[in-house]
Structure 1
Amino acid sequence: MGFLKRFFKSVFHENEMGHIANSFEHLSEEQLEAHLDVGSYNGFELTEAVRPSFDLKVVPTQGFRRETYRDEQTGSTVPVLMGSATRSNLFDTFMDLLDPLGTEVDVVLESSHHHDASQNGDLYREHIDLPVLKSILWDYEDLLLNDGCTGIAVLNPHHPLEVQFDEHKLLIVYGNALKPFEEAFIDRDVYPSPGMKFITEAEHVHSSSQQYQQQFDELRMRLGMDENYS
């Protein structure tokens, strides 16, 4: 089995392989390996979790932009901030974004480690003190930064405010009172960039490993979450 097939076999779910492989299968193993080995673009450091498409239709950059999420069922809209930060700045920025949520939060862990889509899902923990949560998350910085199959969301249990650190290692904030989160971005040199594009807006590849799946299970247990996916 060549490097290309090994890569797709170990990283992608079966229902994703056809779409992704069509974008990369014309590459030689040397071309693909060289592309995956690129760790930065124009000074922006990538994590190990995700790589952009070979044609670089979107080149990752640092910044954030304002969006509006529209619920198709209710028709309601929610302001959104979407941000991206270089690896050396990313986890600190995520931690700072949690502070405006309040002293007690709810947590959702998101996983796509299982090849069986029916086993993928979210795990919930309600009412955890934010300092306790932060202490636990610092212990799993490597997992949260570098695993392309792990995401986390932290919510205010009383008001519609949510911070996501998703599988693409983007920082996404939902809510009506977003000024403190904008300030948190700017304090970390992540500035407004209305025209920026994110890696999710073009083809890209995720990376994970069995070691990260084991660490995910450890984090789940540390947070006191049920092992059954919802």
Structure 2
Amino acid sequence: MTRTPPVYRRLAQRLAAELRTGLWRRGDALPPENELARGYGVSRRTVRHALALMQSDGLIDKGQGRNARYCARVIESQGRNLDDFPTAARQVGMTPATRVLGVTGRRSGLAESRALALPVGTTVTEIERLRLLDGRAVVRQSSVLPQWVADTLPVDRLMRDSLYDLIRRATGSTLRIGTQHYSAVAAAPGPASDLGLEPGASLLRLCRLVVDDRGRPVEYSDSLVRDGYFRFDD
């Protein structure tokens, strides 16, 4: 028989979900405890227990005599800015790491052929990686490169250097986002295992095309992103 979680734990889960809607920024103050108690129909004691749990999870900071503040460390991506994952992570106090799952040559399928402006079946290179924050896998990413880009890259440096930095240095180009598309998906068993989740868990899917300063496609990526670590603003 499944036990129902205590009221304070359910309240903490609900508050955490609402704080992660994108409406809150780091440092924003939450309403006072008595307002939360009235609004959610619980006692102040329950609110205090919920806030204490959220503080232990690193989601809020609650000092003596002041309202709790949202303090989750979230990487923010603004519009079409091409963010460097390691730099963005360090800016919010997190330790980034990359685990390369594989680098393979294969024939392009329909999606990457359209994105990279190649005939279907053209030889491309796929780089599959896990992106980690503070030791936890938060993104599973597949990057497909046209062969003229892949042939210039020192693959052995992918675990410690930014892919975009490597492309910039190798091609002498500046890079920008061409197109990107977001959708909600359920985690398939393989990606779920890589990200430490149960199959069927909700993920954000981000498909992005990156082009150089001449408008040439240099990378098409398909990323599965865990909830709670990133904020994407148009």
**TM-score band w.r.t. shorter chain:** under 0.3
Instruction: State the structure with more CA Rg.
Output: 2
| Higher percent of residues as strand | 2
| TM-score normalized by the length of structure 1 | 0.27
The structure whose residues are more often helix, as a share, is: 1
| Larger RCO, structure (CA 8 Å, separation 6 or more) | 1
